[in-house]
Amino acid sequence: MGDDGLMHAQREETPVPAHPYPRVTSFRARHSTLSTAQQQTWDRLWPELGMQARDGDGRPAGELDTEAWFGRSAPLVLEIGCGAGVSTLAMAIEEPDVDVIAVEVYRRGLGQLLSAVDREGLTNVRLIRGDGVDVLEHLLTSDQLTGVRVYFPDPWPKARHHKRRLLQPATVALIADRLRRGGVLHAATDHAGYAEQIAEVGDAEPLLRRIGADEDVPISVHRPTTNFEAKAHRAGSAITEFLWTKSTPAAEGIRP
């Protein structure tokens, strides 16, 4: 993850705290180039609608004042790995009363989403460039989110790379902590092996309870079919979706 080529003034170094949720970075390096129009939109809107998860010295950003950022108090959804934002955009249009923070490592995807947000005149989407775990750990607090969406995370199919997968027990526990009671974790994958891991990890998290798509939830769980998903269907890959809700305090066996 870079800093968009910006130069930062030198200042006294302070150590970055050790990551309490140890993991191998779950994204791959990729070239990110914006078109001229996208760059112009980026220059105009990023200072208002976007931010970096870490500064140029690698320090994580501080806790977000989301009400100040969005200019209102509303249910808050975090989408980790939004790509070009096809699902983000469609679901934000469908739910204007829900605020969405879309997190993505790659600048090109964020540039495409930012241009679409501008074109549609949306006011309920904000963007963060960086690692979703950084956002969960450093920028958000307990019981803050109404929903977390993780659609088609990198499956890292080789066995030696499974440790790089995003949805590990520590990360799911962190997601559960950041969800408010009744909040929803919605995940989807087209990789059978990763689906097994996601199911095992999600079901093992004591704060979460698996639910069906027909249950009453506070946010939409109806995704648009993206080009990526259509390609997976054509290749014969099954799409597996998961929904968990954060249990109520009275639920048996959950930790305080």
Q: Which residues are catalytic, by number? A: 154
- β-pairing, 240-246 vs 208-210, is antiparallel
How far is residue 110's CA from residue 103's CA, in Å, rounded to a whole number? 8
How far is residue 179's CA from residue 156's CA, in Å, rounded to a whole number? 26
CB 74 within 8 A of CB 150: no
Helices 169-178 and 192-204, axial angle in degrees (round to 10): 50
How far is residue 21's CA from residue 32's CA, in Å, rounded to a whole number? 28
CB 86 within 8 A of CB 120: no
How far is residue 125's CA from residue 104's CA, in Å, rounded to a whole number? 13
1 is written with which tokens?
């993850």
